[in-house]
Amino acid sequence: RDSSSNSRGALVVLEGLDRCGKTTQASRLAQYLEGLGHSVELWRFPDRTTSVGQMISSYLSNESQLDDHTIHLLFSANRWEKRSLMETKLKGGTTIILDRYSYSGVAFSCAKGLNFEWCKAPEVGLLAPDLVLYLNISPKMAAERKGYGSERYEQIEFQNQVVEAYRDLMIGSNWQIVDACQPMEVIEKELQEIVLDCVKKCQNGAPLSDLWS
């Protein structure tokens, strides 16, 4: 692995609907990079281990009710509380594979009818990812997968709204769209190629930047 002083890790985000296969693919990606000798960590948002994360978790499992704006800001706070650690890790050469990020924050809150710009505002200044991978699946296909329907947002009409919001976020972006209905191994290979290329670019000193600023 390249350990020159200005070599940094990559921030790689996986996004998509519930049951699109993000979590599986994120952990496979991390294993793959580790196997190549890269320093890599697998993160996810919401990070349910913090006290903010525990409030989010109880909301998601319908154990508590919160105003839509309030939960939006909690999701955002949950990212802000990890920002400095994230920066330290990346600058120290560790690549972070991230299962959901600000885009989920905006997409899910917009799907409830909150204003797009209002939703983006608290995310400004978080670290911008080097790569966003969107695992593309229709709400109908996702709903047919095992384990669907146990949490608050896992309803097909709502997921249709989420897709619309993700589409707004994709406009003018350079997200990589991957067909999430392909066999798992095919998706895995496709992701490996894209991510490895990104990791190499970041090693060569591409600077970190901020989200939406």
Q: Binding residues for ligand 2DT, per CB under 6 A? A: 18, 45-46, 60, 75, 100, 104-105, 108, 153
Residue 140 Cβ vs ligand 2DT, minimum distance, rounded to whole Å: 18
Whichever of 17 and 38 has its CB closer to ligand 2DT, that residue is 17
Shortest CB 173 distance to ligand 2DT, Å: 17
Q: Which is nearer to ligand 2DT, 127 or 203 (CB)?
A: 127
**Shorter beta-carbon distance to ligand 2DT: residue 32 or 75:** 75
Residue entry with tokens 């409830």: 112
In the bound state with ligand 2DT, the residue whose beta carbon lies nearer, of 9 and 46, is 46
By C-alpha distance, which of 133, 106, 105 is closest to 22? 133
Q: Between vectors from CA 118 to CA 43 and to CA 213, what angle results, nearest 5°?
A: 65
Q: At what angle do helices 51-60 and 68-91 cross, to 10 degrees?
A: 130
* Minimum CB–partner distance for residue 147 and ligand 2DT (Å): 10
Q: CB-based contacts of 83: which residues, under 8 Å, 6+ apart?
A: 126, 127
Q: CB burial class (10 A; 0-12, 13-18, 19+) of residue 190?
A: middle
Closest separation in Å from C-beta 194 to ligand 2DT? 21
